[in-house]
Amino acid sequence: MELNEKELEILAVLEKDARIETADLAKMVGLSVEETESILKKLENDQVIVKYLTMIDWTKVDHHQGVRAMIDVKVTPKQGVGFDEIAEKIYRYDEVQSVYLMSGTYDLSVIVEGKTLNEVANFVSQKLSTLESVVSTTTHFILKKYKHDGIILEQEKKDKRIVVS
């Protein structure tokens, strides 16, 4: 789908701030509120705008346990459907947050979330690795997130040491 300049401008603004008021968005791109609303509706109907999301830094919330892992998956693609069939089987699991087809040593990259390390490990050993097309997996547990989707989650703390002369 080819988009015009104004539609691209709107998408660029929304990608940085999905909560911006329509009136403010209209001013930023030089359109009326009605024109902007019409473009938004079109982009939503065409599924260019799929969903409006909020990014939360769960590490700042007390008692929130959660474990994320990136799993490299090597698979045997099936004739006629390639990687799509196995990717669909994988992304249908509730634990799976994202699935990407990759170039390189592994075919798929899967982002998984669970309440505990054990829960993620059980998902990999009992569900993911037992799928027919899956040849092997390598699991990488995420220890700390510094930047996500272009957003720095924790700004560098300034050096607060006092220098005595």
Q: Which long-range contacts (CB under 8 A, 24 or more apart) does 126-129 make?
A: 127/93, 127/95, 128/71, 128/73, 128/90, 128/93
Query: Which of the four CATH numbers 1.10.10, 1.10.8, 3.90.550, 3.30.750 does domain 5-46 have?
Result: 1.10.10
Residue-level pLDDT at 33: 96
Per-residue tokens: 40 = 């938004």
Enumerate the domain spans of the chain: 5-46, 58-144
How many angstroms from the chain centroid is the CA of residue 75?
22
CATH architecture for segment(s) 58-144: 2-Layer Sandwich (3.30)
Q: CA angle at residue 52 from 46 to 56, to 5 degrees? A: 155
Q: How confident is the model at residue 36 (pLDDT cuts 50, 70, 90)?
A: very high
| pLDDT at residue number 26 | 96
Q: Which of 84, 85, 83, 69 shows the shortest CA–CA distance to 125?
A: 69
Contact 12, 43 (CB under 8 A): no
d(CA 29, CA 110): 37
Residue 12 clears pLDDT 90, i.e. is over it:
yes
pLDDT, one tens digit per residue, over 97-144 is: 999 999 999 999 999 999 889 999 999 999 999 999 999 999 999 988
